Structure 1
């Protein structure tokens, strides 16, 4: 049943967003799941007052995915609209008063939900009394090259290829020792999205790459995120600094 499978995926993602941060010592009360639906943020943004439900789970109610939240939010009426998303973000920012916000970088990460999420945060910040000192950008996916960063688990992260544009790029790097790399790998392994085995075609391609190009997989798992994300440093980009 595709509908039930989609709802289960949503419940698991909700659980992961609350449970996995505990591995890093983040209390449950400091984790919030908003529950807006995949690949719907762009249409929400285009029609801010209208609700847009899940394309797969046959629901227009975000409340089942907020049940573990300890903080009351404007969007707790369950309406998946852009206006509710902005209101939620404003309350979260004003309540937590973050010095740093980390969000997808709009010039590196092409995923439509990631782009809209970044734009939603910037829009929510407009007019707020509290403003973060720093905005940092990251790339979960890269335009035209989903193998970036190249290289093996535990190695460094090269700068991404940028072939156009006049924007000044200011990197921000954090070092991770072997213990923290292992902790990050374990956290990734707890995420249900990364647990299924890759499809046969992808496994065959990796076998050929290993035989012909000497590429190695990650010792932590088959999913590409174990290779790409478990590195000796984190690479982010300064989007804004006061």
Structure 2
């Protein structure tokens, strides 16, 4: 679990930085601009890391499934080699799919100065600036979203159906509580991330609204990565114990 959490933390630091830095700069300056190279670079980093996070969250759901549904075989099934392979597969899949899609988008013709109706170079706002027929690109975006956002989400859903089924047949309330607390943090993170991402990339083009899209995008690009450390920290018994000891030592240094 901690191996995957380290990867998730590193991924989200890079993921948020790729968007937040430019956004903060634009809040401070009057003339808000970005070069085509800067826009492409931001989209490459953002889409690759976003896709990788989808795959990594699905991998973490499988890890929780094995831990709860097959606890006696956990160390055998989730060996160090298997964890590294699953993690590498998430990164490779994200890189190959999104690098190809972003490269295809920036082969479109963009005529003259344009204004992006967004706070970063997201796929759909940039595609809408092309002075060419983009219907194929929008269909490809929908297909990639269905396969590589909805796909991991369905794998997570199946994993949690099996997990909940196993928890419900556990004999003691203590066992059920312990099993649920093991996966509750991950479940909250998945709900926050996939709920907003699915709404953004699978909504119909007729109902697309730039203002709504910006608000939803702010949730999964900034707010969700900001909340994830808090969620995982507060759901972890060891971290809560260490936090209590630290607070007690700092605020109550004298012996009682």
TM-score when scaled to structure 2? 0.20
TM-score when scaled to structure 1? 0.21
Q: Which has the higher contact order (CA 8 A, sep 6+)?
A: 2
Larger Rg: 2
Q: Higher strand proportion, which one?
A: 1
